[in-house]
Amino acid sequence: MALVARVRALLLPGSRLRGATLGRAANGGGAGARRALSHRVLVEADPAAGVAVVKFRNPPVNSLSLEMLTELGICLEKLENDKTVRGIVLTADRPGIFSAGLDLTEMCGRNPAHYAEFWKAVQELWLRLYQSNMALGAAINGTCPAGGCLLSLTCDYRILADNPKYTIGLNETQLGIFAPFWFKDTMVNTIGHRATERALQLGLLFTPAEALQVGLVDQVVPEDQVQSTALSVMSQWLAIPDHARQLTKTMMRKATVDQLLKHREADIQNFVSFISRDSIQKVLQVYLQKLRKKNH
Ligand SMILES: CCCCC/C=C\CCC/C=C/CC(=O)SCCNC(=O)CCNC(=O)[C@H](O)C(C)(C)COP(=O)(O)OP(=O)(O)OC[C@H]1O[C@@H](n2cnc3c(N)ncnc32)[C@H](O)[C@@H]1OP(=O)(O)O
């Protein structure tokens, strides 16, 4: 289903996204700050600063389900069309887990049409974020594996909470799957080829100190200062004239974006045939069961 159709489905009577509002903040934010609510994404906009904080709230682990990807896409599209917003900070509504990555239940026991729809939505969100004209910051206030790490890598800078429990990285190989070429390219563009090769083959999840050292994040700060630091760094990015910053960003990212645009359909087909393999289904199911067993 295309984004428009998925949006329609979400707006059907009964959907909690229906009637989402953008009103004056009940609390928090500067004068004139606005707060918009959808089911899984909370937006706190500060028009005076030109910045919106987009908070993930998809319990229990902020996984990127099809619905979460769709809501995030809608929210970003709205912000892109809002002339008062020049920068966005992505963060988790509750500290602890920034995002557990792609929702594994979307990749297990479904049919090929579902896998294709899901993967298309992952591509769409990546394209929207990686090509965004806005300045994007990630205030990483929790653990950040796989698709969560990818989300943060689409941003222009990353601030990570100084908590050794919070790790970040593309750990796909540890699950028995692997990061597709555009995940890999996004990481190469951030930390370079050799560090990416090592990180991807070993499926490394970096502690804050390691992530800072390898350049996966730009700053590690005390947990209670992640958002405020991300906002203060944002003011540096917004001090640059938009057109100059945007042209530079496009120049830096265009080759990577073009690769996916050129191979988009093939990438979907590759994903569908890979994820549909019995052997891959089995490893994903074992991984999910292990996660679930912990709690039962
Ligand atoms: C040829 C070309 C082909 C190209 C394509 C090739 C390959 C495909 C690439 C696909 C890419 C995938 C990228 C991904 O993002 S895969 C997801 C990777 N994520 C993880 O490995 C994280 C897994 N989760 C955890 O490690 C932990 O949950 C945690 C995030 C550290 C949080 O721990 P904790 O607070 O202890 O919470 P629980 O573990 O108890 O989890 C609570 C609850 O949530 C469920 N859950 C956790 N993660 C996910 C998830 N990613 N998706 C869906 N569900 C998840 C977990 O099962 C628990 O459920 P129950 O409440 O039912 O027990």
Classify 145 as helix, strand or coil. strand
pLDDT at 4: 45
pLDDT at 294: 78
Predicted complex ipTM: 0.98
Number of domains in the chain: 1
Q: What is the chain's alpha carbon radius of gyration, rounded to the nearest angstrom?
A: 18
Q: Which residues are catalytic?
A: 102, 147, 171-172
Measured CA to CA, the distance from residue 78 to residue 199 in angstroms comes to 35
Q: What is the DSSP letter of 102?
A: B
CA 78 – ligand 1 centroid, Å: 28
Biggest CA–CA distance in the chain, Å, is 55
Pocket lining: 61 vs ligand 1, CB cutoff 6 Å? yes
Ligand 1, atom 52, lies closest to the CA of 103
> Quick one: tokens of 71?
């809501």
Q: Give me the domain span that covers residue 239.
A: 3-293
> Quick one: tokens of 258?
């073009």
Q: Which residues contact 140 (CB under 8 A, 6 or more apart)?
A: 91, 98, 152, 158, 159, 160, 161, 166, 168, 217, 226
Q: SS3 string of 53-70?
A: EEEECCCCCCCECHHHHH
Measured CA to CA, the distance from residue 153 to residue 135 in angstroms comes to 13
CA 59 – ligand 1 centroid, Å: 12
Pocket lining: 180 vs ligand 1, CB cutoff 6 Å? yes
pTM, entire model: 0.92
Pocket lining: 177 vs ligand 1, CB cutoff 6 Å? yes
CA 29 – ligand 1 centroid, Å: 32
Question: What is the number of other CB atoms lying within 10 angstroms of the CB of residue 203?
Answer: 19
Measured CA to CA, the distance from residue 30 to residue 192 in angstroms comes to 38
Pocket lining: 146 vs ligand 1, CB cutoff 6 Å? yes
pLDDT at 295: 79
What's the average pLDDT block by block, 10 residues per block, for the chain (296 residues)?
A: 47 37 36 69 96 98 98 97 97 98 98 98 98 98 98 99 98 98 98 98 98 98 98 98 98 98 98 98 97 84
Measured CA to CA, the distance from residue 79 to residue 46 in angstroms comes to 12
Pocket lining: 271 vs ligand 1, CB cutoff 6 Å? yes
CB 202 within 8 A of CB 166: no
Measured CA to CA, the distance from residue 121 to residue 60 in angstroms comes to 21
Q: Residue 185 sits in a domain of what CATH number?
A: 3.90.226.10
